[in-house]
């Protein structure tokens, strides 16, 4: 009798363990594929909606590339949309919206690039610093290691298009907050006319022990009335 009860209890315990194992696998499947795909597709919709909402209908005007100094982008509140970030090297499907704050609930876990509120803004002397997931949460930045010096990154906003060129990439410790400084990696104050884009993401791809940091320099600007950069227009159609 005692033996039989013990056997039944062991059976139930074993089944509970198997159930727990299945639950963990289901959770991983949700995180890596289900949620990832859902968030990614809602981001692509959002990107297209933003583009449409800001649209002036202007086609690319090739007559000039010089529209003067990029204006400082108007600040927005936490959780609000700043723009759409296009990374041609990673393809149109990698496009994601940018939102204010790096709070996971407000931006990162909803697939956005999140703007470090302590850093500066596009067009402003200093550092426009963003964070983005590298795996899961609908990220478009999983293949960030493919970015090379000279690659273009575009920020589409309500007022125009900011064009950045990748300067370098760097692997740092998760505590290296100095990459967010006005002149990244230093304690110097912002250099007039130098506006940097810094993107921090996880490294290794599914890990948490390092950060992959991509630095790009703002070197061009087009108002919405002039239409997008010629190599940005096809990406916007596909996104």
Map residues 185-204 to x or -, x wherever contact with other proteins holds by CB under 8 A: ---------------xxx--
**CB nearer other proteins, residue 153 or residue 226:** 153
Q: How far apart are CA 204 and CA 209, in angstroms?
A: 7
Query: Distance between CA 49 and CA 66 in Å, rounded?
Result: 28
Is residue 10 involved in binding other proteins (CB under 8 A)?
A: no
127 belongs to the binding site for other proteins (CB under 8 A): no
The alpha helices in the chain, defined as continuous H runs, are 2-29, 35-54, 233-238
- Transcribe 174-192 into DSSP letters: TT-GGGGSSSTTS-PPPPT
The alpha carbon of residue 214 and the mean position of all alpha carbons in its chain are separated, in whole angstroms, by: 11
* Span from 7-15, 92-100, 145-153, 163-171 in contact with other proteins (CB under 8 A): 7-15
| 173: its two tokens | 């410790």
Residue 123 to residue 67: CA distance in whole angstroms: 13
Q: In whole angstroms, how close is the CB of 173 to other proteins at the nearest point? A: 8
Give, as ranges, the residues between 146 and 185 that touch other proteins (CB under 8 A). Answer: 172, 174-177, 179-180
Return the number of the residue (97 or 232) whose C-beta is nearest other proteins.
Answer: 97
| Nearest in space to 221 (alpha carbons), one of 99, 124, 78 | 124
- At closest approach, how far in Å is the CB of 79 from other proteins? 16
In a 13 Å sphere around the CA of 50, the CA atoms on its Cβ side amount to 27
**Residue of 10, 11, 42, 56 interacting with other proteins (CB under 8 A):** 11
Q: Which residues bind other proteins (CB under 8 A)?
A: 11-12, 15-16, 23, 26-27, 30-31, 34-35, 102, 104-105, 108-109, 114, 116, 131-136, 172, 174-177, 179-180, 200-202, 206-208, 211, 213
């Amino acid at each position: 009798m005692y033996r039989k009860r013990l056997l039944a209890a062991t059976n139930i315990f074993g089944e509970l363990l198997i159930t727990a194992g299945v639950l963990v696998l289901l959770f991983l499947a949700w995180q890596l594929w289900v949620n990832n795909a859902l968030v990614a597709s809602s981001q692509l919709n959002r990107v297209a909606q933003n583009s449409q909402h800001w649209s002036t209908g202007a086609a690319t005007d090739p007559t000039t590339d010089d529209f003067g100094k990029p204006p400082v982008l108007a600040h927005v509140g936490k959780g609000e949309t700043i723009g759409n970030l296009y990374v041609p090297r990673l393809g149109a499907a990698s496009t994601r919206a940018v939102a204010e704050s790096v709070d996971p609930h407000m931006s990162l876990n909803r697939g956005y690039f999140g703007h470090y509120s302590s850093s500066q803004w596009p067009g402003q002397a200093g550092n426009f610093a963003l964070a983005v997931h590298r795996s899961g949460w609908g990220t478009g930045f999983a293949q960030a290691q493919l970015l090379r010096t000279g690659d273009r990154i575009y920020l589409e906003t309500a007022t125009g298009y900011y064009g950045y060129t990748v300067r370098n990439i760097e692997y740092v410790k998760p505590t290296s907050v100095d990459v967010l400084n006005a002149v990244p990696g230093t304690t110097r104050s912002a250099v007039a006319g130098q506006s940097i884009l810094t993107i921090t993401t996880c490294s290794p791809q599914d890990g948490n022990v390092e950060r992959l940091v991509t630095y790009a320099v703002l070197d061009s600007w087009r108002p919405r009335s002039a239409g997008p950069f010629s190599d940005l227009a096809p990406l916007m159609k596909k996104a």
